[in-house]
Amino acid sequence: MQKKKTKWVLYSVVITIFTFLTGCEPLLVLDPKGPQAERQASDILMSIGLMSFIVIVVFSLLIYMLVKYRASKQSADYEPPHIEGNIWVEVIMVGIPVIIVAFLSYVSVQSNYIVEAKPKGYEDTKPLVVYASSSDWKWHFSYPEEGIETVNYLYIPTDRALEFRLYTYGPITSFWIPQLGGQKYAMSDMVTTLHLAADDPGEFMGRNANFSGKGFAENTFNVTAMSQEDFDDWVKEVKETAKPITEKKFEELLEPGHLGQQTYTGTHLEFSPPPTGHNHSEESSESHETENQPDSHTGHEGMSH
């Protein structure tokens, strides 16, 4: 009776797990829309495959050992034969894990250099520079070359390198668009650089991936990738319809809380420049300093998008 009850409990657990899994959305990190994310997704799948193979081999050996060396009906005075250590078994048991760790380390280091550089195929193109700064609990996106700024949403062109320069006006946050690439921290005393690119048009989810207080769960933003022509049309529309951002308005935006999507002309970089510390190359640092020179944009109020 007890065995039958246990059997039905196990069946119920399995059915419940499968029911929940069928309702889950596909993992965004395994649905890449850019070269950086594609590299990371392939690494994840390779790691899963390698670990699955190891688990299958280990469990197969475990079952074999349990069956072969299970207790048998021997006499009470039976003593098993003495067996010396086998050098080949020891070499295999130590060597295989060393090889696995070395291989994964090589792949990780190689991938790290790839995702930290400009996306493959975009090395010789001029990137779109976007300053992404966070505050409690919102994201501010400044386009210095276009002279516009958005709050909690991001428009980007496809087939063009993207260079995000990250920092924060509050606690450390983490900028992450899962379908375009990995996350990178934004800090208050330095600018960190993240290189991404979008191969396909579409809408993606972005968020803060680092706990930063009670409003962390809703610290998200929307990303829309479009053709360069559509992006240029959007920039033109913003300049014709949006109102300029002012220092007073920006100070209001920095107050803790959640906001909807907003759009402005000009950027807060003119009166609230990013930190002077940086982690990018000397060439990037020079362009960073040049682009931070204040302009003459002034104004009063922003508009909701």
Between residues 13 and 210, which one has the greater pLDDT?
210
Q: 65-76 burial, b if ≥16 CB within 10 A, otherwise e?
A: eeeeeeeeeeee
User: What is the total residue count of the chain?
Assistant: 305
Closest CA to 302 of 260, 269, 256: 260
In whole angstroms, give the CA distance from residue 96 to residue 93.
6
Which alpha helices (H) appear in 69-204, and where do they start and end?
87-116
Least confident of 111-125, 169-183, 277-291: 277-291
| Average pLDDT of span 169-188 | 94
Query: pLDDT tens across 104-131, in order?
Result: 999 999 999 999 999 988 888 899 999 9
Query: pLDDT tens across 95-104, in order?
Result: 999 999 999 9
Pairing of strands 161-168, 192-197: antiparallel
- What percentage of residues in the chain have a pLDDT greater than 90? 63
Would you say residue 57 has pLDDT above 70? yes
Query: pLDDT tens across 143-152, in order?
Result: 999 999 999 9
Instruction: Report pLDDT for 131.
Output: 98
Helix, strand or coil, per DSSP, at residue 244: strand
Which alpha helices (H) appear in 117-257, and where do they start and end?
228-241, 247-253
pTM here?
0.77
Instruction: Report pLDDT for 68.
Output: 83
| Average pLDDT of span 84-97 | 87
Please give the single-letter amino acid code of residue 75: S
Would you say residue 80 has pLDDT above 80? no
Angle at 200 between CA 199 and CA 204, to 5 degrees: 105
Instruction: Report pLDDT for 169.
Output: 95
Instruction: Report pLDDT for 283.
Output: 43
**Contact criterion met (CB below 8 Å) for 191 and 165:** yes
Q: Where does the pLDDT of residue 135 fall: very low under 50, low under 70, confident under 90, or very high at 90 and above? A: very high
Q: Where does the pLDDT of residue 222 fall: very low under 50, low under 70, confident under 90, or very high at 90 and above? A: very high
Would you say residue 43 has pLDDT above 50? yes
- What percentage of residues in the chain have a pLDDT greater than 70? 82
In this structure, which CATH number among 2.60.40.3880, 2.130.10.10, 3.30.70.270, 2.60.40.420 belongs to the domain 128-294? 2.60.40.420
| Average pLDDT of span 171-179 | 95
In whole angstroms, give the CA distance from residue 131 to residue 250.
15
Biggest alpha carbon distance in the chain? Answer: 97
What's the mean per-residue pLDDT of the chain? 85
Measured on CA atoms in the order 139, 143, 147, 153, is the torsion positive or negative? negative
Question: Which sequence spans correspond to the domains of the chain?
Answer: 128-294
Instruction: Report pLDDT for 213.
Output: 87
**Contact criterion met (CB below 8 Å) for 175 and 166:** yes
Would you say residue 231 has pLDDT above 50? yes
Would you say residue 1 has pLDDT above 70? no
